[in-house]
Amino acid sequence: MKILLLGIGKTGSLVRDVAMERGHTVDVVLENDNANAAGLTKDRLAGFDVVVDFTAPHCVLDNISACIENGKNMVVGTTGWYDQIPNIKAEVERRGTGFVFGSNFSVGVNMFFELVKTVAPALKQGYAGHIYERHHVTKKDAPSGTAATMQQILQNASDAEVEITSFREGDVVGMHELTLESAADTIYLCHDAKSRRGFAEGAVRAAEWLMGKKGFYEFKDIWREV
C-alpha cells in the first residue's frame, strides 16, 4: 500500500515508522509545503492508496476537502473539526470515497470507551460524573478529542452532561479518567497511554482496513475489524 502522510510530528513520525515496518511505502507532505492544502493537488495525490492526516485543527479541514475532492481515501487522526462532521460525511458520500476518523486510534482507548458506556447508567442512579484528561504542554486542543468522545458517550447513554477538566503537563502522552461519585462510594475508570505507538498502529491498521472501501466511518465503530 502507498500512503501519503500529512503531519510528521510526534504521532505522525510513528505512523510512518509503523507503516514501513508493515511493508508499506510512505511519502510525507510537510506543513511548509502545504499551506491551505496547496500541496494536495491531483497530480501530487496520484498513485497513493490512502492519505493519513495527523496535522493540526487549523489546517485539517482544508486537507480533508482537497483529498475528498480528488477522490482519495483518508484516515484522519486530527481532532478539533467535529462540528463539521455532517458536511464532511455528505462530501465523502457525494464523491464516493472512503474515510475513517477517530479521536483516538488506540485499540486500548476504544476498549476504554466501551467501559465508559457500560458505567454510564450510574449517572441515573445518583452518581456525579467528572472527566479528567492530561496531555503534554504542546497539545493544541483542549479538551482532547478523546475526552470529548467520553463526554458524548455518557450523554448519549444517560442524558447527563459531564464536565471535563484538562491539564497540560510536561510530556504526558495521554491520560483519561472518569470518576463517578456517590455518597456511598467512588468508581474510577482510567486509561494511561505509555507511548504514542498504540495510536500509530491503530491508524495504520485503519488505513489497511479502508483499502477498496467506500463510506464514512468512525474508528470506535470499526476497531474490532482492523
Q: Are 67 and 76 in contact (CB under 8 A)?
A: no
pLDDT at 185: 98
* 58 in catalytic set: no
Using alpha carbons, list the distances in angstroms from residue 137 to 16, 76, 157, 193. 23, 22, 32, 16
Exposure string over 49-85, b if 16+ CB within 10 A, otherwise e: bbbbbbbbeebbbbbbbbbbbbebbbbbbbbbbbeee
For CA atoms 134, 144, 114, 107, the dihedral sign is negative
pLDDT under 50 in the chain at which residues?
none
pLDDT at 17: 97
Please name the residues in contact with 42: beta carbons below 8 A apart, sequence gap of 6 or more: 70
Place of cell 498502529: 201
Catalytic residue among 124, 130, 135, 136: 135
What is the β-pairing status of strands 50-53 and 74-76? parallel
Catalytic residue among 2, 24, 139, 191: 139
* Chain segment 94-125, per-residue pLDDT in tens: 999 999 999 999 999 999 999 999 999 999 99
The domains found in the chain, sorted by start residue, are 2-105+197-225 (3.40.50.720), 107-192 (3.30.360.10)
3-state DSSP call for residue 221? Answer: helix
Q: How far apart are CA 109 and CA 102, in angstroms?
A: 11
Q: How far apart are CA 25 and CA 2, in angstroms?
A: 5
Q: How far apart are CA 4 and CA 187, in angstroms?
A: 43
pLDDT at 108: 96
Half-sphere exposure of 226 (CA within 13 A, CB side): 23
* Cell numbers at 88, concatenated: 464532511
* 139 in catalytic set: yes
pLDDT at 31: 83
* Cell numbers at 34, concatenated: 502545504
pLDDT at 139: 87
